[in-house]
């Protein structure tokens, strides 16, 4: 894939194409207030073949007290640890514990939050349902409830993500929190970081790889790949709803969450990424309020820096 987006010089200046709603922050403060219940995390220690790690099945109360599942994994015989809060990519389930041992291998614990309703087709299955769903939508998750910000799918997911942070603090091994995720997980990370700031929950740092869920209008018009194509397909057959669609999405734009996120951050981007266009990543990065750095992978697509970048993240963590 050749370059298709802005030049690198232009990318470092690009701030996004959408207008922030006047009530963006009040909407989220109200949503947080409506979900001020305790996460009531339950940790069930299970037996696995991972002899060097302890693995807990996790259940906690997310949006509207819906049950959300996950994993908590830590090196055996640990004392207090920095917990890596890990949010998953689009469509993935929480998978098996063996798929999440990089951070525990480096001396951290990891909390893996399953994304409600996702994982039926990847990640070795899933176990977290989405009890709510509204209206006609295109295949996938991007247009679920898209005609009303109060019903939109990612309102539930982003509050789940905030409650996962609260749940992770209930584990006796957790000392500090670092947020982490790639693609959809990167977009959720931006939201969770900002919502934590609004909730006065301390986050040590954030790592967002090729973050999805940013600058929706531009993404939907310069790439025709999935998942952003879900939005275009919906608007194609609901021509009179376009303004409503993008108004709803503006309340869930990682660009506007980035303005409110202040934890030290490491981003990554692939300049040939046709799934998450690089300009949409830079829109979030350039608006990010905290200390930040970005790793640019010139000839890579949505894989970004892959395991090479994992090494970069481990170095970043070692310097906190």
Q: What is the pLDDT of residues 267-292, one digit of tens each?
A: 999 999 999 999 999 999 999 999 99
pLDDT at residue 72 tops 70: yes
Catalytic, 279? Answer no
Choice among 39, 109, 168, 183 that is catalytic = 183
Q: Which residues, including other chains, have CB under 8 Å from residue 29's CB and lie 6 or more apart?
A: 198
Look at residue 314 and give its three-state secondary structure: helix
Domains of the chain: 8-130+161-223+252-318 (3.40.50.1820)
Look at residue 233 and give its three-state secondary structure: helix
Q: For 210-264, write each residue's pLDDT tens digit.
A: 999 999 999 999 999 999 999 999 999 999 999 999 999 999 999 999 999 999 9
Catalytic, 309? Answer no
Q: List the beta bridge partners of residue 43.
A: 58
**DSSP assignment of 254-289, as one string?**
HHHHHTT--SEEEEEEETT-SSS-HHHHHHHHHH--
The helix (run of H) or strand (run of E) holding residue 209 is strand 205-209
Q: For 301-316, write each residue's pLDDT tens digit.
A: 999 999 999 999 999 9
Give the phi and the psi of residue 310 in degrees, each rounded to 5. Answer: -60, -40
Q: How confident is residue 193, by pLDDT bands cut at 50, 70 and 90?
A: very high
The model scores a pTM over 0.85: yes
Catalytic, 209? Answer no
Burial 208-229 (b: 16+ CB within 10 A, else e): bbbbbbbbbbbbbebbeeebbb
Choice among 5, 54, 160, 273 that is catalytic = 273
For position 55, what pLDDT does the model report?
Answer: 98
pLDDT at residue 123 tops 80: no
pLDDT at residue 1 tops 80: no
Q: How confident is residue 129, by pLDDT bands cut at 50, 70 and 90?
A: confident
- Positive or negative, the Cα torsion across 220, 226, 231, 234? positive
């Amino acid at each position: 894939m050749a370059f298709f987006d802005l030049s690198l010089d232009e990318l470092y200046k690009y701030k996004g194409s959408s207008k922030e709603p006047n009530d963006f922050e009040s909407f989220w403060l109200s949503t947080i207030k409506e979900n001020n219940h305790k996460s009531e995390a339950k940790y069930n220690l299970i037996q696995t073949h991972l002899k060097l790690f302890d693995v807990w099945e996790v259940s906690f109360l997310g949006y509207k007290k819906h049950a959300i599942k996950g994993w908590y994994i830590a090196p055996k015989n640990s004392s207090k640890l920095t917990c890596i809060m890990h949010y998953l990519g689009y469509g993935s389930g929480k998978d098996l514990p063996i798929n999440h041992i990089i951070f525990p291998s480096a001396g951290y614990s990891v909390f893996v939050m399953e994304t409600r309703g996702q994982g039926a087709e990847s990640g070795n299955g899933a176990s977290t349902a989405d009890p709510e769903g509204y209206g006609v939508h295109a295949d996938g998750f991007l247009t679920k409830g898209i005609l009303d910000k109060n019903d939109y799918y990612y309102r539930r997911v982003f509050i789940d993500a905030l409650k996962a942070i609260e749940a992770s603090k209930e584990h006796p091994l957790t000392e500090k929190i670092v947020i982490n995720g790639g693609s959809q997980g990167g977009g959720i990370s931006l939201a969770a970081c900002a919502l934590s700031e609004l909730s006065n929950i301390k986050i040590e740092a954030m790592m967002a790889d090729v973050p999805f869920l940013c600058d929706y209008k531009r993404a939907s018009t310069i790439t025709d790949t999935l998942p952003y194509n879900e939005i275009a397909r919906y608007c194609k057959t609901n021509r009179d709803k376009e303004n409503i669609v993008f108004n709803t999405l503006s309340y869930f734009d990682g660009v506007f969450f980035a303005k409110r996120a202040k934890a030290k951050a490491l981003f990554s981007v692939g300049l040939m990424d046709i799934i998450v266009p690089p300009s949409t990543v830079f829109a979030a990065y350039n608006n990010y309020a905290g200390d930040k750095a970005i790793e640019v992978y010139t000839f890579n697509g949505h894989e970004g820096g892959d395991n090479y970048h994992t090494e970069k993240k481990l170095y970043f963590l070692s310097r906190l």
